[in-house]
Each structure stands twice: as C-alpha cells, then as structure tokens.
Structure 1
Amino acid sequence: MDINFLFLGLFLSLSFFCSMSETSFFSLSNLKIEDIKKKHPRRGSLIASLVDSPQKLLVTILICNTFANIFATLTASKIFATYFPTMNLWVLILTMTFMVLIFGEVTPKSLAIKIAPITSVLVAPVWFILEIVLTPFIFIFRQFVKVLVAIVSELFYPNIKESDSYKTDEVIEVIKESQKHGIIDKEEGAILGNVIEFANTEIWELMRPRNEIFSLSSDTIISEAIEKIKERKYSRIPVWEDEEENIIGILYVKDLLMINGTKRKLSYYKTILRKPFFVPESVKAEKLLRDFKTTNNHLAIVIDEYGGVAGLITMEDVLEAIIGEVIDKDDVRPLYYKYNTSMIEVEGKLDIDEFNKVFKTAIRSSEATTIAGFLLEKIKKIPNVGEIFLLDNLQFKISGALPNKIEKILITKIRKIKEKKIL
C-alpha cells in the first residue's frame, strides 16, 4: 500500500481535529465553562485559561489547521501524479476542495456544535501544550496581524471605534442563559436586561410626546384649572403663555392648594410656578436620572434640536425603563368599563387582544395594536365626539376625542344588518 494514502488520511484527520476544536472552544458560554469546572475542575480551569486568550488560541489552531490542509493537498498531488499522471489539474483542485470542506470544515464543525463541552474537555490539554510549543510562531503571527489590522483600519475605517454593543450583547446572553438554567427568575432577568440597555437609552425613547402632554394656559381661571387637574390627576403640570411652545413654569398641585382666590387667572400667581427644567432629546436616560437627583426635579420638558417642545419626561418614566411599570395608587384604573355583555366603554389605548378577551370578540388588525388604532385604520380619519360607525356587528360611538386622537369609545354589540353597514 502506498504510504501517501496513510499520510493523506493523517493530515485530513488533523484538519478534522483542528476545526472541531475551534468550534468547540468558541461556542462555549461563560455559564457552560463554569458548569464544566464543577464537573471537571482541572480541565475546566484549563479551558477557561485557553478561552481567556481567544486570539492566541485561534492563531494556534489556525497554524495547525493550515499546516494540515497544505500537506494534505501536497500528498494528494503526489497520489494523483503516481496513479493518474494524465489527469487534469482542476480535477485535483476540485477533489481536494471537496475533501477539505467535508472532512476539514463542515462535518467537524457541525459535530462540535452538538458536543462542544465533551470535545473541549478532551482536547484542552493538547491545545495547552501546543500553545506552549508554538509560542514563538504565535508571537510573530500576532505582531504581524496587529500591524496589518492597524494599517487596514487606518486606511479604510479611520473613524470607526470599538463598540461596546458587543459587550452589551454578551451580558444579555449571560442573563438569558441564567434564566434558562434557573439561576435568576424571569422578573430579575427583565430588570437586569433593562439595566444593561438603560445605559444606551436616549430620553426621546421614553418621553411622552408633545401631543400627549397635559398642560395649562396662564390665562386659565384657577377654578377651571382645579377641575381639569381633578379630572387628569397629575401632581405637576406645565404652564404656557401665548403658545404651547412657551413653557413658563411648572405648577405643583400642592402649591395651587395654598391659593385662596379661585376666580383669578394663573398668570396672576406666576410666583408659585416652579422653574421648568429643560433637557435636549438626545440626552441619555442615565444622565437624566442623575440630573433629576442633583437638581431635585421630577419632571423635565424635552426640547428638540430647534428649541421646540418635543415632549415631557418624568422620573417615573425613567424608572419604568429599568424596573417596569411603576403603579401609582391613582393609576390603578381599568382602561374599560363593561356595562353588560353587549356594551362596553373603552379608552382608545386599550390593547386589541385585551378587548377581544374581555368583550368576547375577534377583531384583527394588520397594523394597529390598540382599539383607537383599529378604528382609525378602518375609517381613515380622526372622528368627532358623537360620531357613530358600524363595523360588522359592532357599533363604535366616539365618547371622547381630541383634535389629534381618539380618547374614549362606547362599543355596542348589535345584530348584523347589512343595509346599515358602513364599512
């Protein structure tokens, strides 16, 4: 038997070993490594030390794998020259490409993904020794690569800086793995995930948009202001003068209670207004939280790049981004009131799925998620209070609306009468 066949099998096996090892090591999560340490303390520590220097480990594996593939190709060329001297060179190239892909790449890496922990435990000592033996070569290669990467980065990507997003993604993955293994529960995982993502959150993502801000004109009569505040139940209200863009102060309800006269306008009591706290919409939520603490504010007016009012944000909004919705004792009210099995009044922001569950219906929308959105999608306009619309067997009567949104809808189940169907 020609010994070259033996060498070809040996080099392909080495390529198989290298590819399998590479995938095994680099598919291990930190939690999986810790799990290996518990079962195999010495091997686990060895794996951890190898993975802690990923570039060094990768260069070691690539040196060995490249060596194996080159010598496998040279050996195959000798075999072809001996047994198939007239064979076209392209046949050799295609044959070796196929063999390297099957035995040196696809098969070992696919297998390694399934048995990564077992493989890593078995091969760790081999790669630890190879790293020591190949240290001079590894050093030369790493220095060469470092210089080459610096040159290419400077030439083609001069303004690109290393991003922390990968680190954030890694931490999120660790949190998911921790939940999966029962180390932390779902709520703890959600809070930890929110904390990690909170650092990159800008306040425009959390703010209440301008069209949802409850504010008062300085020309509002005190008694009227009190009634509006009772209805909306806010403790801090922006006050504007001449136009809504011109916020002149923040009215605290506790300060309003100190006023004796109720027939005067708010403008008469400007001295009780607190100085508004303005912040640009690009500010990070993390910084705003610190600013709230240092300035002793709980509400900020968000301005856009042109100085116009973009929205409003409170400390509660910021905290909800971390720990989820903060339930205020005055907020505990349902978004609907069910009169009977065939009549219900809902707020426009009620979720469609919740409405279907409560009212035993099956309405669907390809775009909207709320009842108001569903109705707007169907009628293609913002309705006025009192308008009635019939959709299938449901009658929608607008019981509350602003110029730019639907606030409340009275919905009644009726018999399907084709002649009265509007849409």
Structure 2
Amino acid sequence: MIVGISILVILIILSAFFSGSESALLSLNEFKLRHMVETNKKNAKKIKKLKDNPHRLLTTILIANNVLNLSASALATTMALQYFGEIGPAISTGILTLAILVFGEISPKALATNNPERYSQFAAQPLLFTIKMLFPFVIIFEGITKKMVEEDDNHLPKISEEELKSIIGIGEEEGSIDKEEKEMIHNIIELDEISVSEVMTPRNEMFALSENTKLKDALPEIRKHMFSRIPIFKKDTDHITGILFTKDLIHILDNPNLDDKISKYAKPALFVPETLKTRDLLDRFRKEKYHMAILIDEHGGVSGLVTIEDVLEEIVGEIYDETDEEEVMIKQLNGVAARVDGSADFDDVIEELDINMKINGDEDFDTISGYILQEIGRIPKEGEKIELPKFNVEIEKVDGQKIEQIKIIKKK
C-alpha cells in the first residue's frame, strides 16, 4: 500500500513537472528569451534550443504527460480493486482526477506562468533528456501530425506594427520604459508613414542666396541668419543649383576675395521627391553623407527643403541649438481664446485648445492656416473675422499670400 501510494505521488509530481514546463516555456516570450541569451543567464541556450523546435517540445511533453497519467490511473485502479472491491475503480477515478487536476495541472501551471524564466531554467535540462529518451516515439508522432496539419516551420508569425506598439505600451505600464522613451519608439516606427513634405521648410520660407551674389554681400546675410547650409539658386528658388557650406568660408576669411561669387564655393545639392518617406531620407542622409535635401514636386519644381535636424525632431521632439529662439506657436490668452502662429500644426492646435473635431486624414493641409484657406477658399485680409464650424478666427497678420498670425476664439 505504502509503496503503491509513493509511486502514485511520484507519477503526479512528474506530471506536474511536465505541465508546468509547458506553461513556462509558452509564457516565455521571444524578447525575454533573447535577453536571457545575450546576458548569459543559466540554461538560456538550452531553453532557446527547446523553443527553436516548439512542435517537438510540445509532442514530448504530451507523450510524457499522457504516459504518466495513464500509468497513475492504471496503478490507482489496481490498488482500489484490491482494497475496495467493485466500487474501487469509481473511488480511484474520483480521487485521482481531483489530485491530477489540482496538483498535476492547475497548481504547477499557475506557478510556472508566474515565474516562467526561473521555471524554464529549472526544466530545460530534464526536458532535453526526456526528448532524447522518447526520441523514436516523438519522431513517429511528429510525422503523423505534420501530415495532418500543413505548417511552415521556417517562418514564425511576424509581429505587426500595432502589436509592437502594444508591447511598448505594456513596457511603459510595467515601468520598463518611461513615457519619453515610449514616444520616441513610436515616432521611429511611424517614420515610414511620414512624407518629407510634412516636415519640410516650404520654399517661400527658405533662406537662399543667388549664385551671382558676391561674397562681400553674402557675409552679412549669412551672419544674420546663422545657418550652416544655404541653398544657392539661379534666377529664383525654383532653380536650386547647389548648397553653400558656411564652414567652407572660414578657410578663406584670412585672405578673402570679397568680389568672388558664392557659386565658387557651392557644393552639389541632394534632390529628392517630396513624396519620399522620412525613414528613407534618413537612410540617404546616412549613406550619402548629406545633412540637407531639396524637395522636388511632381512638376519638377522646388517645394522646400528638409534637414537632418527636421527628421530627427520627428523622433525626439524640437531641438534647439545655441542660436535658436524657442518659438511659441500657440499662446493661450484665456479659457476660450488663443493667439496662434499661422504655420502651427493643425492637429496640435485643436489638441492644445481642446476643440472637438474629427479629421479623416485625407485633407490637403497640415497647418492651421491651411485649414482656414481650405474652408474659405481665398486669401483672407488682415483684421478679417471669420466664422468656422467649430471656432471663430481673427486674422491678425498677413504677409503677402501667407497668414502669419491668427487669433482663435472657441465657440461656447
């Protein structure tokens, strides 16, 4: 009796081990396992070897568990018949089912799920040994199941962009990464969705110099604007011919020929289509060693320029250097009004002012002034007051065809 019960206990413990192993290894995600391998955690390479062939691992665990449970059932039934007669099988079935359910399934799986890393480290070597011991049977069952179910062992399901964002969100909730890191990672993921035209400096806002400008006339303008790279044009800014690197002028300042035309010092410009994605432009900047690109529209004209700083700001946010003055694009005046720069991003404006508007994403504008122009279909006059669906605006400053400054008044 004691020997039989002892064997039953051992069988249930072994069943519990395999049940827990299944849960632990399935709960251990690819990212955690990769970190374990890279940091040389105990048995990490053995765990990876097991997870590299999940079909074989699962087959081994199921074979071992079924053999153990069937053996326990046969032994319990034999003992019950011996001590309880005809009602013995019913008694053994009830008791054994409860014991296996509680001690062989639920408890070990709960323990393993809560501590998948430690449990996997503990279970890895015994599981590899079991696979070797049961190898002939495992191969047979693998062959049968593979013929029943077609599968591609060479390709695991790829993680989608949304799933990756969810993983990052979970990391923030658990304290693994902070909010700023999460936002940066999200911004990196979204780089291939943003066209360079969305982050460009428009042509009418570019500082550029004519290729015929003499050095003596160019230097005061260069000092005034303090840019490190300046587009050079022929006729007008729709015909960019090169880029002037202001650092190149340092070498000639000791003995300058002030009557030289700046075209003498210009370097070739990088031209890219305005539809190019920011991720692709960043790759070109890195490979071709450029920091500025001139954007070309579908008609072959210049639409603007983008610098490497513009692209990086899409990842880390606004970057200010020693010469930059921080621009206040949106200035709250009171609870219902704000003074807004015409080039302020439309989404930022409605978010900052808490204006409830649904935008479908197909619009041809990015800025608040672009939205106003789309709504009224003309260039507004300075001082003009305009009623829009969700808010009213007063045009405070217009420069030529460009809306410079707006006062927005929310509707009650």
TM-score with structure 1 setting the length: 0.54
Once residues 180 and 48 of structure 1 are traced to their aligned partners in structure 2, the CA distance between those partners, rounded to angstroms, is 29
Once residues 212 and 337 of structure 2 are traced to their aligned partners in structure 1, the CA distance between those partners, rounded to angstroms, is 36
User: Residues 327-383 of structure 1, C-alpha deviation per residue, up to 9 Å, x if partnerless?
Assistant: 234241211456778864211415236643xxxxx5321228988179549935454
Equivalent of 1:410, from 381, 394, 407? 407
Aligned partners of 2:395 and 2:406 also within 8 Å: yes
Equivalent of 1:312, from 291, 305, 318? 305
Aligned counterpart, 1:40: none
* Structure 1 position 179, deviation (Å): 5.7
1:132 to 2:107 alignment: no
Q: Aligned runs of 1:100-179 on 2, under 5 Å?
A: 114-115=113-114, 117=116, 120=120, 124=124, 126-136=126-136, 166=159
User: Residues 40-89 of structure 1, C-alpha deviation per residue, up to 9 Å, x if partnerless?
Assistant: xxxx734662234313354132244378789999x9xxxxxxxxxxxxxx
Alpha-carbon spacing, 1:372–1:224, altered in 2? closer, same or farther (3 Å): farther
Aligned counterpart, 2:95: none
Aligned partners of 2:373 and 2:379 also within 8 Å: no
DSSP 3-state at the match of 2:327: coil
Aligned partners of 2:51 and 2:57 also within 8 Å: no
Once residues 220 and 385 of structure 2 are traced to their aligned partners in structure 1, the CA distance between those partners, rounded to angstroms, is 28
Alpha-carbon spacing, 1:210–1:144, altered in 2? closer, same or farther (3 Å): farther
Q: Aligned runs of 1:24-423 on 2, under 5 Å?
A: 24-29=24-29, 45-46=42-43, 49-65=46-62, 114-115=113-114, 117=116, 120=120, 124=124, 126-136=126-136, 166=159, 185-187=178-180, 193=185, 197=188, 205-206=195-196, 208=198, 212-213=202-203, 214-215=205-206, 216=208, 218=210, 236-241=229-234, 245-251=238-244, 270-271=263-264, 273-279=266-272, 281=276, 284-285=280-281, 287-291=283-287, 293=289, 297-303=290-296, 309=302, 312-321=305-314, 323-328=316-321, 329-337=323-331, 344-348=338-342, 349=344, 351-352=348-349, 355-356=352-353, 362-367=354-359, 372=368, 376=372, 379=375, 381=377, 383-386=379-382, 387-390=384-387, 395-400=392-397, 406-411=403-408
* Structure 1 position 270, deviation (Å): 4.0
Which region of structure 1 is more displaced relative to structure 2, 326-335 or 22-31?
Answer: 22-31
Aligned partners of 1:346 and 1:410 also within 8 Å: yes
Aligned partners of 2:43 and 2:124 also within 8 Å: yes
Number of aligned residues? 354
Aligned partners of 1:400 and 1:407 also within 8 Å: yes
Once residues 116 and 182 of structure 1 are traced to their aligned partners in structure 2, the CA distance between those partners, rounded to angstroms, is 18
- Letter of the 1:333 counterpart: E
Aligned partners of 1:236 and 1:252 also within 8 Å: yes
Which region of structure 1 is more displaced relative to structure 2, 126-135 or 375-384?
Answer: 375-384
- Letter of the 2:395 counterpart: I
Alpha-carbon spacing, 1:389–1:219, altered in 2? closer, same or farther (3 Å): farther
Once residues 308 and 48 of structure 2 are traced to their aligned partners in structure 1, the CA distance between those partners, rounded to angstroms, is 42
User: Residues 179-228 of structure 1, C-alpha deviation per residue, up to 9 Å, x if partnerless?
Assistant: 6665665545666x479x58x95596456566724335859999999999
DSSP 3-state at the match of 2:53: helix
Alpha-carbon spacing, 1:138–1:243, altered in 2? closer, same or farther (3 Å): farther
TM-score with structure 2 setting the length: 0.55
Alpha-carbon spacing, 1:259–1:394, altered in 2? closer, same or farther (3 Å): farther
Aligned partners of 2:295 and 2:302 also within 8 Å: yes
DSSP 3-state at the match of 2:306: strand
Aligned partners of 1:50 and 1:57 also within 8 Å: no
Once residues 210 and 257 of structure 2 are traced to their aligned partners in structure 1, the CA distance between those partners, rounded to angstroms, is 15
Once residues 309 and 107 of structure 1 are traced to their aligned partners in structure 2, the CA distance between those partners, rounded to angstroms, is 67
* Structure 1 position 28, deviation (Å): 1.6
Gaps of 5+ in 1: 1-10, 38-43, 76-102, 154-160, 262-267, 357-361, 417-423
Matched residues, percent identical?
25
Aligned partners of 2:238 and 2:302 also within 8 Å: yes
Once residues 63 and 275 of structure 1 are traced to their aligned partners in structure 2, the CA distance between those partners, rounded to angstroms, is 65
DSSP 3-state at the match of 1:132: helix
DSSP 3-state at the match of 2:52: helix
Once residues 390 and 311 of structure 2 are traced to their aligned partners in structure 1, the CA distance between those partners, rounded to angstroms, is 42
Once residues 391 and 176 of structure 1 are traced to their aligned partners in structure 2, the CA distance between those partners, rounded to angstroms, is 37
Aligned partners of 1:218 and 1:240 also within 8 Å: yes
Aligned partners of 1:301 and 1:309 also within 8 Å: yes
Which region of structure 1 is more displaced relative to structure 2, 111-120 or 219-228?
Answer: 219-228
Aligned partners of 1:343 and 1:412 also within 8 Å: yes
Alpha-carbon spacing, 1:63–1:393, altered in 2? closer, same or farther (3 Å): closer
* Structure 1 position 316, deviation (Å): 1.2
Aligned partners of 1:303 and 1:311 also within 8 Å: yes
User: Residues 97-136 of structure 1, C-alpha deviation per residue, up to 9 Å, x if partnerless?
Assistant: xxxxxx9xx9899958853537647755652331221345
Which region of structure 1 is more displaced relative to structure 2, 377-386 or 138-147?
Answer: 138-147
Gaps of 5+ in 2: 1-10, 74-100
Once residues 380 and 217 of structure 2 are traced to their aligned partners in structure 1, the CA distance between those partners, rounded to angstroms, is 23
Aligned counterpart, 2:85: none
- Letter of the 2:355 counterpart: I
Alpha-carbon spacing, 1:130–1:205, altered in 2? closer, same or farther (3 Å): farther
